[in-house]
Amino acid sequence: MEPEMSIKISILLEIYGKLLTQKQFDLLNDYYNNDLSLAEIAENENITRQAVRDNLKKGERKLFNFEEKLGIMKKNKMQEEQIAVILSEINCLTENSTDNEIANVLEDVKNKLNCLV
């Protein structure tokens, strides 16, 4: 699986993991976050590799369905992009401002926004 997809599933698991069964969460977490192979997971769970794969696919489908319906990951990404734009604009203002008071206020806002990213 391509790394970008693995990262996406890992993020979705963090957001929606509590909506899965405990077994699905554990299998997905072992595979995507703990970097265990299908064989290692199968041995740990006393099930076949095929059962691990089937459970992974089922869990992945659920995660993507949750995201399709709720869109939390998409909203978070949009917020991060908006914050980055705001921070960039504030950086330009603080660099070009001669008024210390405005610069201080903008610096405070920038610090608060940085905490959100």
Domain segments of the chain as ranges: 3-70, 75-116
Q: What average pLDDT does this structure show over 2-8?
A: 89
* Structure-block tokens of residue 15: 């957001």
The domain over range 3-70 is classified in CATH as 1.10.10.10: yes
What does the pLDDT look like over 17-70, one tens digit per residue?
Answer: 999 999 999 999 999 999 999 999 999 999 999 999 999 999 999 999 999 999
How much is the pTM?
0.74
Q: What percent of the chain has pLDDT over 70?
A: 93
Q: Higher pLDDT residue, 21 or 83?
A: 21
Picking from 102, 18, 99, 10, the residue whose alpha carbon sits closest to that of residue 56 is 10
